[in-house]
Amino acid sequence: MTKTKTIVNFKKYTKWLWRIFLGGIALIFLLFFLTSLGLFGKLPTFDQLENPNSDLATQLISEDGKTIGKFFKENRTPVQYKDLPQNLVNALIATEDARFYKHSGIDFYATIRAVAFMGSRGGGSTITQQLSKQLFTGGSRNIIERLTQKIKEWIIAIRLENRYTKKEIIAMYFNRYDFLNQAVGIRSASRIYFGLEPAKLSQEQSAMLVGMLKNSSLYNPLRRSEKVKHRRNVVLKQMEKYKFISTQLKDSLQKTKLNLDVHKEDTNYGIATYFREYIRKFMIRWVKDNPKKDGSAYNIYRDGLKIYVTIDSRMQKYAEEAMQQHMENLQGEFFEYQKSRTKSKRNKWQEKIVPFSTDLKIADVDKIMNRAMKNSERWKKLKKAGVSEKEIKISFHKKTPMKIFSWKGNIDTIMTPYDSIKYYKTFLRTGVMSIEPQNGHVKVWVGGINHEHFKYDAVKQQKRQVGSTFKPLVYATAINQLKYSPCKKMSNTPYTVPKEKYGMPKDWTPENAGKKYGGEHTLKYALANSINVISARLIDEANPQNVAKLAKNLGIETKIEANPSIALGAVDLSLFEMIGALSTFANKGMYIKPIAILRIEDKNGTVLQNFSTTRREVVSEEIAYVMLNLMEGVTQAGSGVRLRGTRKHRENVVTGSPYKFTNAIAGKTGTTQNQSDGWFMGMVPNLATGVWVGADDRSVHFPTVRRGQGASMALPIWALMYQKMYADSTLNVSDKPFRRPRNLTIEIKCEENDEDKKTEGDNDFNN
């Protein structure tokens, strides 16, 4: 009887087990069914599956095809499967989903294994499931949510597999993942961590990036390099396990360092930072005037636009390298000068006004500093918060931790905001801009020394007194309208323009640098040596109104007061305006308005707008060539002669210079009052470049002309930049002569008189 009872109970339990098992399966199917109906939250539609919602970065693409910057909320730039190296795909398959090509979104074998061994032998999620989680599901707070989320992932994974090929799923997965440090997607990650496009990633680099997929916060290469290296080696081991690499190669690669080559991609890093900010501001205006077809506005941070710009990334790189090389050295000299002032026993008060000019009084310095404080972000924020002006001023004298700029890198320090303003006032700044005269394309735009700490753009935003770089416009007016020849001689004696003639408050009597006078000089010699009194005679004869008119025709939009003093550059203009105007001479007298953008495309490559520029003939080809010839004299025997490997000092001693250009260069130096601004404009037949150097405040400058002139402050950047460009065989910067017109009627080969042969002995200083 006992035996019979046992058999009956066993059958009963078996039935219950089957009921539980089948009920469980039914429950699972019910959960799948209810989830598919959206009971536990909406699932993506077919349209959403076809077009997953991703924020895409807008790219700035240079004329030589390089991405030089991005605007983004998420720094994501998608790539196609064909752009991925096979070693990257192999690393992903070996590490995340070895059976990827054998399942249809869900790997039941891996799922059962994960459940049976509690995840100790690997997870159960496929690459497609991980993608579905990234695209359409979020985090979970409890076991019920985790369960329904997992079901959603399975359903979405199956749908993704039905809509996309395996290659497309892999590409989507790499494009979606956030690799941290503003590296969203594989293209940003490979560019930021290694400075490479994805296609050029090596085996070990691919392994590192795939290793980050497990947990990019934990495996952050900028913070936990040893952990990342260990994780990379795990990936390499997996690649060996699945026969993607040999044991010998695995052992070799595991011994290598990470060898990161970090290229941060935000507004303060990378090349052409000031130019990128200029384009960003332009695009903010552009999207308002150019809506989508449905009437909504483009978003430059999310819509993945492509902006094709005129910048040449190679030229830009050389310009920035030249700027840094020269400005770091120049700043060192300026610091030494300032340091010597604070040690002066005769003028202890100087310590209180450093870095400002000795011409200022302490009250003047207080005005400058008060103005600087009120213009600062700190002042504006505190004022907006309702803090009184008295309390704000007190806060500027309280020490606080801050990060400050130095040419050796950022420095963490403790300093009062007031002292930090003085510290930054000490730095010399610069602007560099290059234009291709024949089409107006802006090739180089360096707006300052460091965009993180010095936001003000010295190319277009800033206007400063241009000094003698304006003189070619005076000469061009005289030659064009009065039919003067460069060989015409004029007296180098003091000259006064009476106040009544142009309605001035007083007579105008300019002085030559060094007050050197005597004899007569040709216009060619006078421009080369920047003789002020001859420029004064010229503008008086040509009339300031005509000079101002020519300047306007040459693209200078700033209103110029037509008085004789503009002959010496007593007018504030931007570097953008000046190089745009002078480059007209290199384009046979045809002015072309500088252009920075070629076209804008949407994320699908549809052209939204093509850009063109305006052009007009301002002077004849003959006049333009004559002006180039005159400006060549500046670099052959005038204030720009150091470009040729020699330079003349006051004592007529010829010394060596590191710049030994032998090709045709038309140029003009410029130095303003008290050496506040140093300029150099230099042109070869197919590239015109302007350079400005000076401090933020005009009362901060070198004490003497010898170091503070344009030939010393600005010209070296031009020279270093062109040396680098000429050394690059991939560039086509001309070293040929300027093209001479066929029927040149104006005499340009002048016979030197005795006075000219003696030379002023002061070529570097008559600016």
Question: pLDDT tens digits for 70-93?
Answer: 998 888 888 999 999 999 999 999
Q: Please say if the pLDDT value at position 32 is more than 80.
A: no
Sign of CA dihedral 265, 266, 272, 275: positive
End-of-domain residue from the set 232, 264, 296: 264
End-of-domain residue from the set 231, 264, 297: 264
Largest CA distance in the chain: 143
* Residue 711 in tokens: 């030939």
The verdict on residue 355 lying in a domain is no
Residues 155, 20 share a domain: no
The verdict on residue 464 lying in a domain is yes
Q: What is the model's pLDDT at position 353?
A: 85
What's the DSSP call for residue 379? H
Whether the upstream peptide bond of residue 355 has omega within 30° of 0, thus cis, is yes
Rounded CA-CA distance 6/161 in Å is 51
The verdict on residue 325 lying in a domain is no
The verdict on residue 399 lying in a domain is no
Question: Could you tell me the CATH number of the domain that includes residue 239?
Answer: 1.10.3810.10
Contact by Cβ (8 Å): 679, 469: yes
The verdict on residue 404 lying in a domain is no
The verdict on residue 168 lying in a domain is yes
The tokens 């009065």 sit on which residue?
482
Residues 85, 24 share a domain: no
Residues 125, 16 share a domain: no
Residues 19, 140 share a domain: no
Domain range for 17 is 1-39
Residues 616, 535 share a domain: yes
Which backbone phi and psi does 520 adopt, to 5 degrees? -120, 150
The verdict on residue 384 lying in a domain is no
The verdict on residue 650 lying in a domain is yes
Report the b/e string of 109-123 with b at 16+ CB within 10 A: ebbebbeeeeeeeee
Residues 15, 130 share a domain: no
* pTM, rounded to two decimals: 0.84
Q: What is the model's pLDDT at position 658?
A: 81
Q: What is the model's pLDDT at position 721?
A: 98
Q: What distance lies between CA 226 and its chain's CA centroid?
A: 33
Residues 99, 29 share a domain: no
Residues 146, 7 share a domain: no
Residues 95, 25 share a domain: no
Number of domains in the chain: 3
Find the range with the poorest average confidence among 160-169, 326-335, 446-455, 709-718: 160-169
Residues 151, 8 share a domain: no
Residues 689, 633 share a domain: yes
Q: What is the model's pLDDT at position 580?
A: 97
Question: Could you tell me the CATH number of the domain that includes residue 734?
Answer: 3.40.710.10
Residues 161, 20 share a domain: no
* Residue 50 in tokens: 């076809």
Contact by Cβ (8 Å): 662, 646: no
Q: Please say if the pLDDT value at position 164 is more than 70.
A: yes
Find the range with the poorest average confidence among 54-58, 185-189, 263-267, 600-604: 263-267
Q: What is the model's pLDDT at position 122?
A: 53
How many residues does this entry show for the chain?
767
Q: What is the model's pLDDT at position 760?
A: 41
